[in-house]
């Protein structure tokens, strides 16, 4: 059951075209992995889903992205609401310069949903595998945490928004293997409630956790299918070459 | 031949070094002279008492009070306006738009307008046009605010110090990393929510620096307040917005140029100048300290 | 309707307060521009009767301000039985004291800037810059005070002239106010010259002085020129120092040992006594317009140069930044 439908979607930054006619869908209850070499357009794609690319000067689109049937770029929508429904975690941990607690309640405060905060905080921190490490230090300044902890905090604070899907942009780059394993574990447990779109440079990561995987190259979506099928028996030659490490 | 070239080189280098020395010496002499002559009289009584005996005895408390009241009002006016203008320039204005260029040009030129022209502006616009207009409309012509008073003087100074606040605020806004802004957006913040909850709190230090610098400048400028409300001797402290006021810099000016007995007022004069300098430099020093602390903190994160 | 969708399409009706704040922020930008415009408008407004009003013309016209009197002399005596309003004494006075001030300030400031950016060791650099900022932070009324109290006596002792308050005294005081801005802009310009220039010159065997004089300074010429222009603007517009230490006598003498009157000091000295709406009143505002115009043009020129230089060295057109505000810490 698709939550997001991407139909023939293209993106330009000024005169430069970074996405070409991408057609894809994001379904409920799954982890969709997006792999591809640097510069393939993966991040541009992800940022287009929650309209974060609006911030980039010269940003232009063609085609459609439909979220529950609403064309995100042609109809007048409340963008902040969209960004809460499709919560994003960036590649470099981006904690706000405030306490862990303040980071977590930032979203709920904006929404005006301040009930049962402590319960929700515990739930989200546990889901992000961070609860045990920070449970009695919530007033600690977030930037003083380690990289892995910061990233898990970013995951937890996004979960506080109660999003429908998570948009993760290489969330484990720069993390140690243990933190990476924790994040992957968290995602696997979350996917039933919160679908995940996972952009990753690490092909192995996608093979580990993603239900379906899409391979991007030069702004095009080359191939998409169930992960096992894509890895074992890819339909396109480029896919095979990328997966087997011939380039990228 | 090489010896002569080296000598010429050494000679001109020394000349430039001498220039630096001259500047340092000049500043030392000025400050030294003022401290030397003004230090003795600088007592608690001096800063808290009123002047007596035709400005030859007593203290200068009313001038201190007037200066404080003046810059306080000025700050109330200039900080919100300056911060808003800086926020517009940095956060809202479309990149490279003509309006932005015009605003920046206006700020740059505002900073170069002579202080006495500000005085004329204060008189012509604030006192006569605005004040006179308000009197005609609200007070049926009686003289309430259409006269030189602390309200108009402080607003005149606010316009004068506007560029200082805008520049300092913009510097602070620029220092807030993009990652914070994007994180806020990703968590569902609108532009204003992001500015209010993330950017402005992070910029408070720089804004404060700008405010302090503005206050330091405003406390020292005399030309703009010559005709917009400063007075030499008042038997009362300014309590209402349409009162006149005594002020440190103005006091120095009048005392220097119009006191009948220069020798008798000299000690008070020197001490008044010293107080003015202490206020101005103290504020400047504080602002510089604050700014370097902020810069240091930013460099480590 | 799907609850997801309805919330998404509801376009922020609750955001009235935010809209109001954003309007306020946008209007602040207009207020900044308006301030500059208003300054010109309201000073010019009170000067317009110089051109339009017949009552004013009975006493003075712009023509009469530039022409000599019947007895062939130029005289500024607004307060007398027959008011005289020649601009020439004021012009001579302004230029005289500005010349003295720039004559002193420009070599010192530029020399110090060269020293700071080319020869000085790090510790000296970190000492000199704050000292110049300190100088910039001294209120002009204090400099004027120092000039009349101390400088005047020194000048009198040194030159033996009878008149204490003259162009020399006022010029020295004025130079103290001009030095910081010339120094700051010139030093900026010199520092902005790429290090590669210096390295290349040194590699060819030049010593630091030859490098500075032959390579760096020429490269920074536009910036240094701009610094001089901005210094000129500062000198022309300065009020308190000349008001207190120039003797306030409107003469056409070019002898620097005599007292003088500048445009700014005239306004400051006479506006307090003048009758609102009298011809004298309008003349003073007219002087203000002239002053505003001259400083505006020179500042515009100076800043244009500085902005262009910034842009050239960074490879793109630069946005103007108030330089004077930077000269003060």
ipTM of the predicted structure?
Answer: 0.92
**Residue B65 sits in the same domain as residue B175:** yes
Q: What is the pLDDT of residues B18-35, one digit of tens each?
A: 999 999 999 999 999 999
User: What is the pLDDT, as a whole number, of residue C207?
Assistant: 80
**Residue B118 sits in the same domain as residue B252:** yes
Q: Quickly state the pLDDT bin for C318 (edges 50, 70, 90).
A: very low
User: What is the pLDDT, as a whole number, of residue B12?
Assistant: 82
Q: Which residues of A touch B301 (CB under 8 A)?
A: 97, 143
Q: Quickly state the pLDDT bin for A107 (edges 50, 70, 90).
A: very high
Q: Check: CB of residue A44 under 8 Å from CB of residue A224.
A: no
d(CA C233, CA C246): 19
Burial label, B3 (beta-carbon count in 10 A; 0-12, 13-18, 19+) = exposed
Q: Which of C217, C1, A34 is nearest to B12 (CA)?
A: C217
User: What is the pLDDT, as a whole number, of residue C11?
Assistant: 62
Burial label, C209 (beta-carbon count in 10 A; 0-12, 13-18, 19+) = buried
Q: Check: CB of residue B239 under 8 Å from CB of residue B253.
A: no
**Residue B121 sits in the same domain as residue B226:** yes
**CB atoms A78 and C12 under 8 Å:** yes
Name chain C's partners: 3 or more CB pairs within 8 A.
A, B
- Pairwise pLDDT comparison (B47 vs C311), residue with the higher score: B47
Q: Which residues of B touch A110 (CB under 8 A)?
A: 187-189, 193
In angstroms, what is the C-alpha Rg of chain C? 26
Average pLDDT over residues A123-129: 91
Q: List C-alpha distances in Å: C165 to A113, C76, C244.
A: 73, 19, 9
- List the alpha helices (DSSP H) in C48-115: 49-52, 54-59, 62-66, 88-114
**CB atoms B89 and C29 under 8 Å:** yes
**Residue B57 sits in the same domain as residue B32:** no
Q: Check if B190 contacts C (Cβ < 8 Å).
A: yes
Q: Check if C112 contacts B (Cβ < 8 Å).
A: yes
d(CA C5, CA B291): 48
Q: Which two tokens stand for residue B62?
A: 């009313």
Q: Check: CB of residue C122 under 8 Å from CB of residue C199.
A: no
Q: Which of B205, B114, B118, A227 is nearest to C140 (CA)?
A: B114
Testing the interface with A: which of B186, B193, B200, B297 to mutate, by most A Cβ within 10 A? B186
Q: Quickly state the pLDDT bin for C115 (edges 50, 70, 90).
A: very high
Residue B207 has pLDDT above 90, yes or no: yes
Q: How many CB atoms lie within 10 A of CB B191?
A: 18
**CB atoms B180 and A94 under 8 Å:** yes
Average pLDDT over residues A55-73: 90
Q: Quickly state the pLDDT bin for B299 (edges 50, 70, 90).
A: low
**CB atoms B198 and A158 under 8 Å:** no
Q: Check if C2 contacts A (Cβ < 8 Å).
A: yes
Interface of A with C in 152-181 (CB under 8 A): 164
Q: What is the pLDDT of residues C40-70, one digit of tens each?
A: 999 998 888 888 888 778 777 877 777 777 7
Sheet holding A86-89: strands in order across?
A86-89, A165-169, A195-199, A31-35, A212-217, A220-226
Count of CB contacts below 8 A, B vs C?
287
Q: What is the pLDDT of residues B75-84, one digit of tens each?
A: 999 999 999 9
**Residue B29 sits in the same domain as residue B87:** no
User: What is the pLDDT, as a whole number, of residue C13?
Assistant: 59
The position carrying tokens 């700071």 is C116
Nearest-Cα distance to chain C for A49, in Å, is: 14
**CB atoms C139 and B16 under 8 Å:** no
Nearest-Cα distance to chain C for A200, in Å, is: 28
Number of folded domains that form chain B: 2
**Residue B83 sits in the same domain as residue B222:** yes
Q: Check if C107 contacts B (Cβ < 8 Å).
A: yes
Give pTM, 2 decimals. 0.87
Q: Quickly state the pLDDT bin for C323 (edges 50, 70, 90).
A: very low
User: What is the pLDDT, as a whole number, of residue C84?
Assistant: 81
| Domain extent at residue B65 | 44-300
User: What is the pLDDT, as a whole number, of residue B99?
Assistant: 85
d(CA B7, CA B5): 5
User: What is the pLDDT, as a whole number, of residue B55?
Assistant: 67
Q: Check: CB of residue B121 under 8 Å from CB of residue B156.
A: yes
User: What is the pLDDT, as a whole number, of residue C326?
Assistant: 37
Mean confidence (pLDDT) of chain C: 85
For strand A31-35 and strand A212-217, is the pairing parallel, antiparallel, or unpaired?
A: parallel
Average pLDDT over residues B127-143: 87
**CB atoms B188 and A143 under 8 Å:** no
Sequence-distant (6+) residues with CB within 8 A of A168 are A88, A89, A155, A187, A196, A197, A198, A199
Determine the 3-state secondary structure of A16 from DSSP: strand
- Sign, CA dihedral A187-A191-A196-A198, equals positive
Q: Check if C1 contacts A (Cβ < 8 Å).
A: no
- Phi, then psi, of A4 in degrees rounded to 5: -120, 135
Q: Which residues of A touch C2 (CB under 8 A)?
A: 68-69
The position carrying tokens 């002559």 is B37
Q: Which residues of B touch C144 (CB under 8 A)?
A: 253, 256
Q: Quickly state the pLDDT bin for B274 (edges 50, 70, 90).
A: very high
What whole-number percentage of chain A has pLDDT above 90? 62
Q: Quickly state the pLDDT bin for B105 (edges 50, 70, 90).
A: confident
Q: Check: CB of residue B73 under 8 Å from CB of residue B151.
A: yes
Burial label, A38 (beta-carbon count in 10 A; 0-12, 13-18, 19+) = exposed
The position carrying tokens 């007593």 is B58
- Pairwise pLDDT comparison (B296 vs A190), residue with the higher score: A190
The DSSP-derived string for A114-142 is -TTHHHHHHHHHHHTT-HHHHTT-TTSBG
Residue B234 has pLDDT above 90, yes or no: no
Q: How many CB atoms lie within 10 A of CB B141?
A: 10
User: What is the pLDDT, as a whole number, of residue C324?
Assistant: 42
Q: Quickly state the pLDDT bin for C314 (edges 50, 70, 90).
A: low
d(CA C251, CA C271): 20
**Residue B54 sits in the same domain as residue B33:** no
Q: Which of C216, C29, A100, A109 is nearest to B197 (CA)?
A: A109
**Residue B243 sits in the same domain as residue B152:** yes
Residue-level length of chain A: 248
d(CA B216, CA B208): 12
| Distance, first Cα to last Cα, chain C | 60
Interface of C with B in 52-91 (CB under 8 A): none
Q: Report the Cα A210 to chain-centroid distance in Å.
A: 12
d(CA A89, CA A101): 18
Burial label, B142 (beta-carbon count in 10 A; 0-12, 13-18, 19+) = exposed
Q: Quickly state the pLDDT bin for B39 (edges 50, 70, 90).
A: confident
Determine the 3-state secondary structure of A74 from DSSP: coil
Residue C5 has pLDDT above 80, yes or no: no
Q: What is the pLDDT of residues B155-194, one digit of tens each?
A: 999 999 999 999 999 999 998 999 999 999 999 999 999 9
**Dihedral class, residue A73 (left if φ above 0, else alpha if ψ from -120 to 50, else beta):** alpha
**Which element (helix H / strand E) includes C130?**
helix C122-137
Q: Which two tokens stand for residue C162?
A: 């009878």
**CATH number of domain containing B115:** 1.10.3720.10
d(CA C43, CA C275): 16
**CB atoms C5 and A85 under 8 Å:** no
Determine the 3-state secondary structure of B84 from DSSP: helix
Sequence-distant (6+) residues with CB within 8 A of A160 are A104, A105, A107, A108, A120, A121, A124
Average pLDDT over residues C114-121: 89
Sequence ranges of the domains in chain C: 3-47, 76-313
Q: Which residues of C touch A75 (CB under 8 A)?
A: 9
B228-234 own/partner pairs: CB under 8 Å, 24+ apart? B228/B119, B228/B122, B228/B123, B228/B126, B228/B127, B228/B148, B228/B149, B228/B152, B228/B153, B228/B156, B229/B148, B229/B149, B229/B150, B229/B151, B229/B152, B229/B153, B230/B66, B230/B148, B230/B153, B232/B258, B233/B51, B233/B55, B234/B62
Average pLDDT over residues A100-112: 92
Q: What is the pLDDT of residues A204-228, one digit of tens each?
A: 899 899 999 999 999 999 999 999 9
CB half-sphere exposure, C210, CA atoms < 13 A: 14
**Residue B162 sits in the same domain as residue B13:** no
Task: Tell me the fold of C76-313.
Answer: MetI-like fold (1.10.3720)
**Residue B137 sits in the same domain as residue B161:** yes
Q: Which of A173, A152, A166 is nearest to A38 (CA)?
A: A173
d(CA C115, CA C109): 10
- Phi, then psi, of A64 in degrees rounded to 5: -140, 145
Q: Quickly state the pLDDT bin for C73 (edges 50, 70, 90).
A: confident
Testing the interface with A: which of C4, C6, C9, C10 to mutate, by most A Cβ within 10 A? C4
| Distance, first Cα to last Cα, chain B | 55
User: What is the pLDDT, as a whole number, of residue C166?
Assistant: 86
Q: Report the Cα B131 to chain-centroid distance in Å.
A: 24
**Residue B277 sits in the same domain as residue B173:** yes
Residue C317 has pLDDT above 90, yes or no: no
Residue C217 has pLDDT above 70, yes or no: yes
User: What is the pLDDT, as a whole number, of residue A167?
Assistant: 95
For strand A86-89 and strand A70-71, is the pairing parallel, antiparallel, or unpaired?
A: unpaired
**Residue B110 sits in the same domain as residue B3:** no
Average pLDDT over residues A20-32: 93
Strand partners, A65: A6
Q: How many CB atoms lie within 10 A of CB B247?
A: 31
């Amino acid at each position: 059951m698709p939550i997001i439908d991407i139909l023939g979607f293209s993106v330009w930054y000024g005169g430069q075209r970074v996405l070409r006619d991408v057609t894809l869908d994001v379904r409920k209850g799954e982890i969709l992995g997006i792999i591809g070499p640097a510069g393939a357009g993966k991040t541009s794609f992800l940022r287009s889903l929650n309209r974060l690319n609006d911030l980039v000067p010269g940003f232009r689109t063609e085609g459609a992205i439909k979220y529950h049937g609403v064309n995100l770029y042609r109809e007048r929508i409340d963008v902040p609401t969209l960004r809460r429904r499709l919560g994003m975690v960036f590649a470099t941990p981006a904690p706000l310069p405030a306490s862990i607690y303040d980071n977590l309640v930032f979203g709920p405060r904006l929404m005006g949903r301040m009930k049962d905060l402590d319960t929700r905080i515990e739930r989200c921190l546990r889901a992000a595998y961070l609860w045990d490490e920070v449970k009695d230090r919530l007033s600690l300044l977030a930037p003083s945490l380690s990289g892995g902890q910061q990233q898990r905090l970013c995951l937890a604070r996004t979960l506080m928004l109660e999003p429908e899907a998570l948009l993760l942009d290489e969330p484990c780059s720069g993390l140690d293997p243990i933190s990476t394993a924790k994040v992957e574990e968290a995602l696997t447990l979350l996917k039933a409630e919160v679908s995940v779109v996972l952009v990753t440079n690490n092909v192995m990561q996608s093979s580990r956790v993603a239900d379906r995987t899409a391979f991007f190259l030069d702004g095009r979506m080359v191939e998409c299918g169930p992960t096992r099928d894509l890895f074992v028996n890819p339909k396109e030659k480029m896919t095979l070459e990328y997966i087997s490490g011939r380039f990228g | 031949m090489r010896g002569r070239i080296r000598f010429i080189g050494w000679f001109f280098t020394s000349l430039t070094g001498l220039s630096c020395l001259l500047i340092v010496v000049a500043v030392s002499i000025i400050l030294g002279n003022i401290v030397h002559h003004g230090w003795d009289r600088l007592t608690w009584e001096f800063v808290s008492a009123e002047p007596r005996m035709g400005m030859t005895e007593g203290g200068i408390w009313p001038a201190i009070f007037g200066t404080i009241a003046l810059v306080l009002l000025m700050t109330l006016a200039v900080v919100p306006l300056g911060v808003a203008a800086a926020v517009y320039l940095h956060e809202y204005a479309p990149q490279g738009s003509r309006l932005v260029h015009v605003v920046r040009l206006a700020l740059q030129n505002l900073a170069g307008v002579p202080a006495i022209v500000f005085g004329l502006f204060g008189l012509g616009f604030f006192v006569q046009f605005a004040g006179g207009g308000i009197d005609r409309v609200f007070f049926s012509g009686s003289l309430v605010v259409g006269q030189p008073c602390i309200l108009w003087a402080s607003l005149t100074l606010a316009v004068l110090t506007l560029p200082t606040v805008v520049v300092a605020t913009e510097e602070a806004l620029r220092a807030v990393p993009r990652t914070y802004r994007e994180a806020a957006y990703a968590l569902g913040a609108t532009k204003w929510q992001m500015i209010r909850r993330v950017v402005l709190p992070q910029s408070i230090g720089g804004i404060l620096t700008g405010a302090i610098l503005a206050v330091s400048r405003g406390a020292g400028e005399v030309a703009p307040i010559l005709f917009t409300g400063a007075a030499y001797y008042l038997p009362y402290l300014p309590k209402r917005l349409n009162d006149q006021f005594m002020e440190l810099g103005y006091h120095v000016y009048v005392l220097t140029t119009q006191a009948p007995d220069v020798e008798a007022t000299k000690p008070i004069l020197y001490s008044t100048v010293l107080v003015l300098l202490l206020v101005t430099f103290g504020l400047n020093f504080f602002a510089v300290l604050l700014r370097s602390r902020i810069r240091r903190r930013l460099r480590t994160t | 309707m799907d609850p997801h969708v309805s919330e998404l399409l509801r376009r922020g009706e609750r955001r009235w307060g935010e809209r109001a704040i954003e309007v306020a922020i946008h209007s602040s930008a207009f207020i900044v521009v308006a301030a500059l415009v208003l300054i010109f408008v309201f000073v010019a407004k009170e000067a317009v009767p110089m051109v339009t009003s017949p009552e004013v013309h009975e006493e003075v016209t712009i023509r009469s301000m530039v022409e000599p009197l019947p007895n062939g002399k130029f005289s500024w005596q607004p307060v007398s039985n027959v008011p005289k309003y020649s601009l020439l004494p004021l012009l001579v006075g302004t230029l005289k004291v500005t010349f003295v001030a720039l004559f002193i300030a420009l070599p010192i400031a530029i020399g110090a800037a060269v020293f700071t950016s080319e020869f000085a060791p790090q510790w000296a650099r970190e000492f000199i810059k704050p000292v110049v900022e300190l100088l910039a932070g001294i209120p002009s009324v204090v400099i004027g005070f120092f000039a009349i109290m101390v400088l005047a006596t020194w000048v009198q002792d040194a030159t033996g002239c009878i008149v204490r308050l003259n162009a020399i005294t006022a010029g020295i005081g004025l130079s103290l106010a001009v030095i910081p801005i010339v120094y700051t802009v010139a030093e900026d310009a010199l520092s902005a010259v790429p290090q590669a220039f210096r390295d290349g010159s040194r590699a060819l065997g030049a010593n630091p002085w030859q490098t500075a004089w032959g390579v760096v300074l020429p490269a920074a010429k536009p910036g240094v020129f701009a610094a001089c222009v901005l210094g000129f603007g500062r000198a022309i517009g300065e009020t308190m120092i000349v008001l207190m230490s120039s003797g306030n006598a409107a003469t056409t003498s070019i002898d620097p040992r005599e007292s003088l009157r500048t445009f700014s000091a005239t306004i400051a000295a006479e506006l307090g006594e003048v009758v609102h709406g009298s011809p004298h009143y309008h003349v003073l505002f007219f002087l203000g317009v002239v002053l505003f115009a001259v400083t505006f043009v020179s500042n515009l020129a100076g800043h244009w140069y500085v902005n262009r230089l910034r842009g050239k060295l960074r490879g793109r057109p630069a946005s103007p930044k108030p330089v004077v505000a930077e000269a003060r810490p």
